[in-house]
Structure 1
Amino acid sequence: MTAVMDFTLPAELEAHEPPEARGLRRDEVRLLVGDQGRVAHHRFTDLPALLRAGDVLVVNTSATMPAAVPVEGAALAVHFSTELSSGRWLVEPRRVRGPATERATDVVAGQRFPLPGGGRVTVRVPFSAGRLWESDVDIGGRDVPDYLAAHGEPVRYSYVPSRWPLSYYQTVFGTTPGSAEMPSASRPFTDRLVSRLVSAGVQFAPVLLHTGLASPESHERPYPERFAVPEQSARLVTAARAQGRRVIAVGTTAVRALETAADEDGTVSAASGWTDLVVTPERGVRVVSGLLTGFHEPRASHLDMLAAIAGTDALDETYAAAVNADYLWHEFGDVNLLLA
């Protein structure tokens, strides 16, 4: 397995609140372009001028659920992550520490957590080094996204000290609730910017991948997530590649869905289910020629995917430039366009 990239992230480069709280529109965050080792500094509003007519942007239509639910009678919360094909859910029990939460390390199989509205989660089998648990969810036959909409709040970690409404965690493309954390690479897009991109000849290919919970403490490898690539998007992407046009994924989630649906020569077919694909430099990418993404923490497993697209040396140079120029990290931070 490829060793992920390590670097020092100064604390002042963590985005603690949405750009709107910093006096910016969503689409006014900074955009660092890394193109085969060359870097350039922009605002996200420059994106239509940086892309070409005929480029295809692959976007994730998953909407963010308010996936954090308090445990009744205890200083605990249950974070809902991913629905499994068995019908169980992967969940993460976390201990509440003031405005933040931390991993609960004393959870045992069979433990039950009472939730608001008469709900209950029973953890069964440890998963992902014991951080997540395969669990039975008893919410009276209700749909989990509907239950979370009534009783949950957005997942947040210690670097975001204040609560923000769910709308701050949604993207312009999100139509189907299912992500435990926001597919944040899409956050800077606005209706106006999408219109400008379409007018410039850029095409959009929607896919779906419900992203699970990150592991801010231990950076585990990616685990299976639910995805779907529609027939129309598969045809659009395959035609673009055949014509020599660029396919640029918006977010690592879009890469994972698209690459899962591709065969060895890069032909994409309609597909759905659960993907366990892990993209590394050794595996490489078969479809995408670029990636628009946020900045990822040191040692985060997503960095292997970025290296597979941009190359390790170019990625190192891009991240060094981002740190030196004070770009902001995390879901409310700045964004990075990597081109192969």
Structure 2
Amino acid sequence: METELIDFHLPAELEAAKPAERRGLRRDHVNLMVLDRETGDTVDDIFFHLDRYLNPGDLIVLNNSRTIPAVLHAQKAGVANRVEIRLAQRKDSSRWEALIRDSSVNVGDHYVFSNSLKAEVIDTDPEKPLATLKFSKEGTPLLNDIYELGEPVRYEYILEPWGLDNYQTVFASVPGSVEMPSAGRAFTWELLNKLKDKGAGIAYLQLHTGLTYMLDDKWHQHPSENLEYYEIPAATAKAVNETKRRGGKVIAVGTTVVRALETVASKFGYLKADKGWSDLFIHKDFPLQISDGLVTGFHEPKTTHLALLSAFIDSDKLTKSYQRAIQKGYLWHEFGDINLIL
């Protein structure tokens, strides 16, 4: 069944609470577990040696979406207490879906973030965790205020409020993700140049990540309810198609890249320049058309991110590799180690 999710016990000490740099490592020197799709065999290495596992003519596809500081605080009109608001997904230049941590949220409620920024609730549904806010600014002025007032989304295993720079990839250039596309975090310009010297290509797309956890276990969003905006440039589509034609491997960096590539391939039967909203759920029975390999972090049990990995490798082999990663002390989450599936 495509709804089956892989379960295991993740020890708390393997939840990375600090960025690699705060643990005395370079970004690109986190641990790397290389997983063979066919055999399930694994190799332990460091991420800086990624080039050893790729061939000339392979293509690395990166998500250059930039993380925004999506946690804001506001005063509700007529109420003394401040309210935390987590941006979840940008709908247009002035409207965002957001998780509003308030005792009641109703259409017409007003929130004041600063002397110059306000928002009104224009849509809400008691059966869903998110409401729609219309801000008093739009476009770049709104984004500037979000950067000035906000802070990064931080989950309970992150014990300190690390600055926004810790939640960016070095190549991030297009603001829009409320959570870091974390598989790309371990890349440095030195490593990217090393990959180019090996003869591997580098291409970019955007998929702006939404909010994955609603802070209340009663809310379980299916991927079809978690719309995420993507854009695939013509140059990237061309690079991918040429790589496939030559017999090279297309290596997606992160589940976000897989989702964008396979969304377009599912729509058209091949990859082309495109933009839109993805609601694609990739699971063990999903036929991958574009992605030949995956660079990804280690994912929590019973998540759809982990279900996506089972499209690359048999679930039993994946589960065994995760058990081995736990025994070896690999670190989980956005500040953790990296898994290469080839």
| Partner amino acid, structure 1, of 2:176 | G
**1:32 to 1:77, Cα distance in 2 relative to 1, 3 A:** same
The DSSP-based 3-state class of the residue aligned with 1:227 is: strand
Task: Say whether the 8 Å CA contact 2:94–2:138 is kept in structure 1.
Answer: no
| Aligned equivalents of 1:269, 1:298: Cα separation in 2 | 34
How many residue pairs get aligned? The number is 330
Which string of whole-angstrom CA distances, capped at 9 and with x for unpartnered residues, describes residues 123-180 of structure 1? 3434695222222222377643222111111111111121111111111120111110
Amino acid at match of 2:3: T
Contact 1:71 1:78 in 2 (8 A): yes
For residue 192 of structure 1, the aligned residue among 190, 193, 199 is 190
Deviation for aligned residue 1:263: 4.5
Amino acid at match of 1:329: W
Deviation track 1:60-105 (CA, whole Å, cap 9, x = no partner) reads 01011111111235353111121125963111123xxxxxxxxx56
For structure 1, which segment, 167-176 or 274-283, has the greater mean C-alpha deviation from structure 2 after superposition? 274-283
Task: Name the counterpart of 2:121.
Answer: 123
CA–CA separation in structure 2 for the residues paired with 1:268 and 1:13: 37
> What is the TM-score with the length of structure 2 in the denominator?
0.90
The 5 Å alignment of 1:256-295 reads: 256-263=259-266, 267-295=270-298
Q: Give the CA RMSD over aligned residues.
A: 2.1
Asked if 2 retains the 8 angstrom alpha-carbon contact of 1:284 and 1:309, the reply is no
Structure 1 residue 157 corresponds to structure 2 residue 155: yes
The superposition leaves residues 202-255 of structure 1 with CA deviations (integer Å, 9 ceiling, x where unpaired) of: 111111111111116545323111110011110111111122211110011111
Residue number among 64, 77, 84 corresponding to 2:84 in the alignment: 77
Per the alignment, residue 97 of structure 1 pairs with none
| Structure 1 residues 129-148: aligned runs within 5 Å | 130-139=128-137, 143-148=141-146
Q: Tell me what 2:43 maps to.
A: 40
Structure-2 change in CA distance of 1:154 and 1:86 (3 Å): closer
Q: Do the aligned residues in 2 keep the contact of 1:119 with 1:140 (CA within 8 Å)?
A: no
Aligned runs of 1:179-328 on 2, under 5 Å?
179-215=177-213, 217=215, 218=217, 220-222=221-223, 223-263=226-266, 267-328=270-331
Over 3 Å counting, the alpha-carbon distance change for 1:190 and 1:226 in structure 2 is same
Counterpart residue type for residue 157 of structure 2: Y
- Structure 2 distance, partners of 1:201, 1:244, is 14
State the match for 2:26 in structure 1. 25
Amino acid at match of 1:288: S
Q: After superposing the two structures, state which structure 1 stretch, 140-149 or 303-312, moved more.
A: 140-149
C-alpha displacement at 1:186, in angstroms? 0.5
Distance 2:140 2:61 in 1: 32
Which residue identity is paired with 1:325? K
Identity %: 40
- Residues of 2 paired with 1:176 and 1:24: CA distance? 27
* Structure 2: tracts of 5 or more residues without a match: none
Aligned to 1:89: 96
Structure 1 residue 293: Cα displacement: 0.7
**2:99·2:214 contact (CA, 8 Å) conserved in 1?**
no
CA distance in 1 between counterparts of 2:293 and 2:139 reads 42
State the shift of 1:50 in Å: 1.4
Contact 2:244 2:250 (C-alpha < 8 Å) held by counterparts = yes
Aligned equivalents of 2:139, 2:324: Cα separation in 1: 51
Tell me which moved more, 178-187 or 131-140: 131-140
How has the CA–CA distance of structure 1 residues 308 and 110 changed in structure 2, closer, same or farther, with 3 Å as cutoff?
Answer: farther
